[in-house]
Structure 1
C-alpha cells in the first residue's frame, strides 16, 4: 500500500465524508511540482511532504490540514505560486500553505522566540 493510499484509508476513520479527492489532487500537484527534486539524503523530494501528511493524520487533523501539509513546500521550493494553489485547491488551503511558508522565513533572535512563535 502506498503512503497516499494509507492517508486515504485512515482519514475517513476519524473524518467521515472527508473530500479525499482533494488529497489525491494535492498529491499529484506536489509530485508534479517537485518532479526531479531530491532531498539532501538522496530520497525523492516528495517523501518529506508525505511524511508530514502522515504525521498530521496521526494527530487526526482534518483533510484540509493534511492537504496543506502535503503541499507545504511547493511555494518555497518550486515554481508554483499562491495563485496556482488558490485556483487548484481554494483559498483556505492556499492560505494555510502560504502561512507555513512565511513562518519558515521569520528571523528570530533566540531559540525561545522561535518556540513562542510556534505556539501562536
Structure 2
C-alpha cells in the first residue's frame, strides 16, 4: 500500500484555497487574515486525525474551499470556515478569536459552534422545522452557509 504524504496534500489544499480567494478578489490583507486563521486551525487540530486517517486540518481546508469557490463568500467567511471547529475542539475561546480576528469572524465561528449543538440534538426534526430553526438562530446568513459547506464536505 502506498504511503500518502499528507503534508504535501495539506500544502496543496492551502495553495488551492489561496488561489481561489485571490481569483475572487482577495487582497493582501484578506490573504493575511486567511493565513492567520489557517495557522490557528492548524494549531487547534494538530495531531488530530479524521476517521479516514488524514490529518483533521484537511477538513477545515476543504470546507473553506467550498465556501470560497462554490459559495463565493469572502475572506472573513473563509477564515471562519477554517476555524469552524476551533472553539468546540480546542482551548481557543470566543474571546481569543475576538481579540485575534475581530468581532465579525468570532461571531461567525461562535454561531457555527451553536449550530453544531443543534445539529447534534435535533437529528430527528422534520426538515422544514429544522430550516426555520437554523434561520431563526442566526442573524448572519454566513453561519448557515458555512455549516452547509461543512455538511457537504462530510457527505462527499
Q: Which runs of 5+ in 1 are unaligned?
A: none
Q: Which runs of 5+ in 2 are unaligned?
A: 1-10, 137-156
> Which residue of structure 1 lines up, in the alignment, with residue 12 of structure 2?
2
Secondary structure of residue in 2 paired with 1:19: helix
> Which residue of structure 1 lines up, in the alignment, with residue 31 of structure 2?
20
Q: CA RMSD in A?
A: 1.7
> Which residue of structure 2 lines up, in the alignment, with residue 99 of structure 1?
111
> Which residue of structure 1 lines up, in the alignment, with residue 41 of structure 2?
30
Q: CA deviation at 1:16?
A: 4.5
> Which residue of structure 1 lines up, in the alignment, with residue 131 of structure 2?
115
* Correspondent of 1:66 among 53, 62, 78: 78
Quick check: 2:37–2:79 contact (8 Å CA) kept in 1? yes
Q: CA deviation at 1:119?
A: 4.6
Quick check: 2:67–2:81 contact (8 Å CA) kept in 1? yes
Q: CA deviation at 1:118?
A: 3.7
Q: Deviations over 1:69-106 (max 9, x none)?
A: 00000011111111111111111100000001001112
What TM-score do the two structures reach when normalised by structure 1?
A: 0.89
What TM-score do the two structures reach when normalised by structure 2?
A: 0.70
* Distance in 2, Cα, partners of 1:16 & 1:26: 15
> Which residue of structure 1 lines up, in the alignment, with residue 65 of structure 2?
54
